[in-house]
Amino acid sequence: MHQEAGLIATVAVSFVFAAVLGYCADRLRLPPLVGYLFAGILMGPFTPGFVADTELASQLAEMGVILLMFGVGLHFSASDLLAVRGIAVPGAIGQILLATLLGVGLGEFWGWSLGAGIVFGLSLSVASTVVLLKALEDRNLVNTAGGRVAVGWLIVEDLAMVLALVLLPALAELLGGHASDTASHGLDLPLSATIALTLLKVGAFAAMAIFLGPRIVPWLLTLIARTGSRELFTLTVLAIALGIAFGSAAIFGVSFALGAFFAGVVMSESHLSHRAAADSLPLQNAFSVLFFVSVGMLFDPSVIVRQPLAVIGALALIIVGKAIISFGIVALLRYPIGMGLTAAGGLAQIGEFSFILAGLGVSLGLLPHEGQDLILAAAILSITVNPLVIFVAEKLNRQIKVKWPRIYEGYGRKNQDALARELEKIRALGEERARQHYLRIQQLVETFPLFSEVGEDALEELLLLFNPKLASPGERVIRRGDRGDSMYFISSGAVEVRLASGAVRLEPGAFFGEMALLSGGRRTADVIAVDFCQFEVLERRDFNMFMSRHPNLRTIVSEMAQKRTEMNVMRQQWEKSMDLS
């Protein structure tokens, strides 16, 4: 029964349908993405039953595109791409050009315009990030040479599609379409000037993002992380992603997708990028589901009955054509046969960028609606059969290895060894960074044993809260009678706590200044450095915030402070008794 559906109904029903059908797809050993697309088909206007609000769904899909592109940028690794650039860059560009030419050829055969053929070919040339990564993870191939090449290949494809999203509106009228709404309000410039202005805007935005972003975003994330508020940190991550995406569109006239991608790239340079990715992942996943559901709502299943040969042609281009092109390029570049088969199987499908390009092509009047239906049908079918394609590629790989072992082992060996050395350098660098981070945490626990009571996440938070401070011999670190504003942890050197009853020497691993913070009173002693000292300082606000989240640690500090107070009282009483005697 058809009925009007509001925002809450659209989101609620989308999640319910997607959850049920995603689970069914998983039980059938298919990517859950297939289930999400079928959920959209059931909710769309082309099937009986509940019909969701397509306008609201398209706006939610736009949010999904922004967060998807933010996630792509957040996981973008320039070092990984540079390591496999010798095969990924020419391979991806070559495949895009050849697949696009095949798409133009199919479009000419069907009587489409050149612009429709280009959009159609571009849409079929780019694989799905979600599907490829899931397939590689299921087979433990992400960190292999073949897996790294496939991921690098995909990154180049994504970058090329980002460029296509920028250039298509500028080229739309030349290719037989019409200018976009944003472009139609601009100046009536010649094509060359329009393209130059578009690229200039993109270049200005990219330069600002690359040069200013790494200076501002990591500082801002660290500032927010020091508050200790998980929800505020997540909110800041999303504000940066959506803010840069919106700002890029409003100020520079570039797409939301490009702005979100650069937001992710900038954030990936921060040492808190792993936390940003973890915190934003649930929202990315939720809106990406809504994106795929909304794409399914646009699909008219009757196209499979009305144009079965066209659907088969598009599917053959994706599975057979792209697989042969990928394997051929890898072989021509003289890389191993196994690497070529991994790329051929993993990239023989299309996904999220295809949907975005198809939607843009329709909005610009370049691609007919039947072309969008063909792309959606080919996407759903190619994703569905992709596990089978990968299985065939793996079986073929094993058969070649058994039948022609000398050719299999010898072909591309030189390039494979060179690539292995590059990847080993990156792996070693990553391990060294992880080791340094681990050693810093380990050193913190070894120097200050009381922190062994808290977990690794809390220790990382503590490292953000600490402010380093140095002191020279004879320097007064704390003055008696001052207000207690911070607690000091001694990393190296030594200090003397000068009480009325005498001096107490504290060395690395000890801490002082906690009594005034716990009691809220004034400092009760002078603290003088007797060596070159390095302290980790915890300010009052940070101290109260951290201790409130770790009451067991506060109890330990309070007990140690109580013991110190009792010892000082006992010492004073002993000295008084000695004076009386």
> Over the stretch 129-184, which tens digit does the pLDDT of each residue have?
767 777 777 777 767 777 778 878 887 887 788 778 778 887 888 887 776 654 44
Rounded distance between C-alpha atoms, residue 388 and residue 378, angstroms: 15
Rounded distance between C-alpha atoms, residue 384 and residue 28, angstroms: 10
Residue bearing tokens 């039953």: 49
Burial of residue 103, with CB atoms counted within 10 A of its CB: 0-12 exposed, 13-18 middle, 19 or more buried:
buried
Going residue by residue through the chain, which has 581 residues, state the pLDDT in tens, using 9 for 90 and above: 444 457 777 888 889 999 999 999 888 877 787 888 889 888 888 888 777 777 777 777 777 777 777 876 776 666 767 778 888 889 999 999 999 999 999 999 998 999 899 999 999 998 887 677 777 777 777 677 777 788 788 878 877 887 787 788 878 888 877 766 544 444 455 656 666 776 777 777 777 766 777 778 878 887 887 776 778 888 888 888 888 888 877 777 666 766 777 788 777 767 677 777 777 777 777 887 887 888 788 788 888 888 899 999 999 999 999 999 999 999 898 888 888 888 888 889 887 788 888 888 888 888 998 888 899 889 888 888 888 898 898 899 889 988 888 888 888 888 888 888 887 777 777 677 767 767 777 777 777 777 777 777 677 777 778 888 899 998 999 888 888 888 898 888 999 988 776 788 888 888 888 888 877 778 888 899 998 999 888 888 888 878 877 787 778 778 777 777 666 666 666 555 655 55
Classify residue 450 by its DSSP letter: G
Residue 24: helix, strand or coil by DSSP?
helix
Dihedral sign, Cα of residue 285, residue 286, residue 292, residue 295: negative
pLDDT score, position 191? 59
* Domains within the chain, CATH numbers bracketed: 7-411 (1.20.1530.20), 452-580 (2.60.120.10)
Rounded distance between C-alpha atoms, residue 579 and residue 343, angstroms: 88
For the record, the structure tokens of 549 come out as: 């989240």
Rounded distance between C-alpha atoms, residue 437 and residue 352, angstroms: 36
pLDDT score, position 186? 46
Among candidate residues 254, 236, 237, the one with its CA nearest the CA of residue 245: 254
Inter-residue contact 84 to 277 (CB < 8 Å): no
What mean pLDDT is reported for the chain? 80
- Alpha-helix residue ranges (DSSP H) falling in 248-368: 256-268, 273-298, 302-306, 308-316, 322-332, 337-346, 352-363
Residue bearing tokens 């929800």: 231
Order the strands of the 476-478 sheet from edge to edge.
476-478, 526-529, 495-499, 502-506
> Over the stretch 391-411, which tens digit does the pLDDT of each residue have?
898 899 889 988 888 888 888
Rounded distance between C-alpha atoms, residue 456 and residue 438, angstroms: 9
Task: Give residues with Cβ within 8 angstroms of 150, minimum separation 6.
Answer: 132, 136, 141, 342, 343, 346, 347
